[in-house]
Structure 1
Amino acid sequence: MIERILPAAVIAVEAYDDPPDAVLFPEEEQVIAKSVEKRRREFTTARHCARLALARLGLPPAPILPGERGAPGWPDGVVGSMTHCAGYRAAVLARDTDIVTVGIDAEPHQPLPDGVEKVVTRPEERVHLAELAAADPAVHWDKLLFAAKESVYKAWFPLTHKWLGFDDARITIGPAGTFEAELMVPGPVIESGTLAGFSGRWLVDRGLVVTAISLPVGN
């Protein structure tokens, strides 16, 4: 599913359940040893997906350990992102010669819990959400905007190693499966210049809302 909103240079592997043959490296086992079963299943299957993606890139399996702020530590020369929610896990990977950064998120296609919208959105975004809902009430735009911001953070952090708050990016959602994220703080400097924001894509399918950002090299 998620490959539909990613370029061909990005390898995507997803799972809708937890395969019994998914195993962890010893180093990963140490990380998850004291976690509850739900967390263990999410952690294990996401890494199973990531190793399948590594294989499709022609690379050997490797442990993927949480690093700074929990961001996954990828092998040299690889950029990637992982996500998991109820009934879904995914990992997307690419070579850093093709893609500068990538960020994905998946959420159940349901409204945000009461009170959360004001925490995760800017005032102008709430106006935008009301306009989108009036035009198409079948989509839970609040959850979509939340997922878009999660993707922004996952694309931002490997470039900056800095926190990005919910107010630090302004999302504009296009009804045709695209979104734009304008950074409200100084953006990271990459080879092509300073980033002012990110462009992303989204879809709603199988009871999920999925968002993805991928920045090709040279853009």
Structure 2
Amino acid sequence: MENNVLLAVFKNQLSAYEVLNNIKGNFVGKNYVITEAAVVKKENGKVVFKEGFEVSSNGQVGFLSGGLLGAFVGIIGGPLGILFGGSLGALIGESRGNAEDEIETGILADTTKYLTDDNFGLVLLATEEENSELDEYLKKYDEEIILRKSANVVQEEVELAKEYEKELYKTAAYDEFKKMANEEKDKLKIKVDDVLANLKDKFEEADSKIKLEVAKLREKFRK
């Protein structure tokens, strides 16, 4: 038995919801068990979660709130979503120094690659004895694409994506701090410049008064 993550895209966009609703009540097949499922949609270049479910260890169906697909959806819906058009796979492959890994760990990028704007996709986590049964089931709904990746590979990809996300947040936080610091420095400079200008005005005013008084005294002594 293998744990796999599947991405299915259908010709009829509503089929993603139809399959989700059908497998919610029939998640066990002869050669497979579906434990997590999610419908996602690409909106303005970003993949967003729409609806999903997970099956607990006692067979109860509930809202998708965690697990592998929960983390998967969280990543593709987060700040790194804009990088999943291919650059993330390259980063992961580069970090391991293995070009094959770049191809192996591509379901995050594939989800954005094979979904066009306003289109829906179905993502499944399934334990399979063999692939054909679930493939045949999905083909009944006139699928365009079925991609399958090992759940272990996807888990590793998600963990690596989380690391990149943390670094992204650190960079963003640093950039924001630097921006605020520069703004405060500019504000302080403006305040100092204002104080100096004010002192200069007062000094020039006082200097004029002193010069006037000295001129008066000189005039007085001349008399």
TM-score of Structure 1 vs Structure 2, range by shorter chain? under 0.3
Bigger Rg over Cα: 2
The structure with more strand, counted as a fraction of residues: 1
The structure with more helix, counted as a fraction of residues: 2
